[in-house]
Amino acid sequence: MRRVKVGVIGVGGIFRVAHLPAYPDVKEAELVSLCDVSEDALKEAQRITKKVYLDKAKKAEEEGDEDLSERLKEDVDSLKTYTSVDEMLSKEDLDLVDICTPTKFHSSIAIKALESGVNVMAEKPMARTYLECLEVIEAVKDSGKLYQHNENWLYSPIWYNMRKIIESGIIGELQLTFLATAHGGPEWASWFWDPEIAGGGALLDNGVHAITCSWFLSGFDRKPTVVKAAEPYGICIRMKTRILQGRFKPFEVEDDAHVMIRFESDDGSWSTAHVEGSWSYRDSLDTCVIGTNGIIKPLQKDEETSLEISDASGGKREFNLGKVTWTQSFQGEIRNMCSCVLSNTKPLCNEYIGAETTAVVQAAYLSQKRGRRPVTLDEFKAYAQKIKDREGKNASDVLLKDLLKGIRRI
């Protein structure tokens, strides 16, 4: 079978921990090249890639799958490395690039690849600002190539099966979703805390999972229309300092964000989501999905996950999902895009989903800045367009700095 030739750009943590382990198990993908500006990072990534592929090849051989074993060995033996994106795009006949860089470079690299005639999938968030997302959308239109906004949660057994249950009508009409993405913060990499590189803090980096996933649960046929920074915390900085690059430092991006989102369909129906994007641990309600006659909650028992459905009369039943790890969803994400490339089919989670998710984040920043008043997506987009008309090429940086002024310290 024909395989999709993939070049990875950015070989740091998300590639090594999540994307790389998936590639040997995606039969539709041929990993042909790695690119990073750091030669040291490239050498380490090449070493880890070789180990991952050869370990998989050995296991396949032990299981009697000689063809898979030989394919994996050949793939890793022919793997190329580059320190220049331009050089990789010019020398390799790629079908797809997998962008795993810091956020600042997502849009510019995506545009460069699209203009070179290569399909793109990029890690979340799509870009630092909504205006940068619009530039990617334009490049997708002009190139005629495919773009996938990489939201791996859509391929997790938890959220995929929860969506199936909602669509089946078991809990009636979806009304409200509580969804939190919260941990102690990525203190291992200082760029996450630099707004010029990251574009924002916990809401843009971590909260986008909850935003896109709550939208997925409500149905992508509905659209986000109104956003509000939620009481009592809103979008804020809760901790005064963090250990970054070996010493305590103050920081300027939010480490906690609580946001309300309204999703509406053309027929006038709607649902609401409360999402938390936090690097100061969770303080919102447990994750649950509430319908007109039932509730779904994910449960963790020992090492296994299940979905509990409660009905209006107090009855309960569970769907066991087995052991669910946060990395296993990346295999589905990569396979989905490779399948889309092979069939020339637009991905479900495309450039428009990525751009609207970023618009929700920035509308929430605007809500916070305006005293946590509700902000419509149309209102935010008009606000961003006005800055673009006034500032030209500097508009994205101006918009970013303007919105982050509203973040408050507790």
Give the angle 38-183-152 at the CA atoms, nearest 5°: 65
- Do 4-153+329-350 and 154-326+357-404 show the same overall fold? no
Segment 152-165 mean pLDDT: 97
Band of residue 314 on the pLDDT scale cut at 50, 70, 90 = confident
CATH number for the domain whose boundaries are 4-153+329-350: 3.40.50.720
Q: How many angstroms separate the CA atoms of 231 and 95, rounded?
A: 46
| Contact (Cβ atoms closer than 8 angstroms) between residue 265 and residue 142 | no
Segment 228-240 mean pLDDT: 96
Q: Is the dihedral of CA 144, 348, 68, 44 positive or negative?
A: positive
Segment 130-153 mean pLDDT: 98
Report the pLDDT value the prediction gives residue 410, as an integer from 0 to 100.
Answer: 87
Report the chain's C-alpha Rg in angstroms.
Answer: 21
Reference 223, options 372, 352, 111; nearest CA is 352
Give tens-digit pLDDT for 178-216. 999 999 999 999 999 999 999 999 999 999 999 999 999
Distance of CA 186 to the CA centre of its chain: 15
- Pull the structure tokens for residue 16: 């090594």
Q: How many angstroms separate the CA atoms of 28 and 1, rounded?
A: 8
Enumerate the domain spans of the chain.
Answer: 4-153+329-350, 154-326+357-404
Give tens-digit pLDDT for 45-71. 999 999 999 999 999 999 999 999 999
At 207, which amino acid appears? G
CATH number for the domain whose boundaries are 154-326+357-404: 3.30.360.10
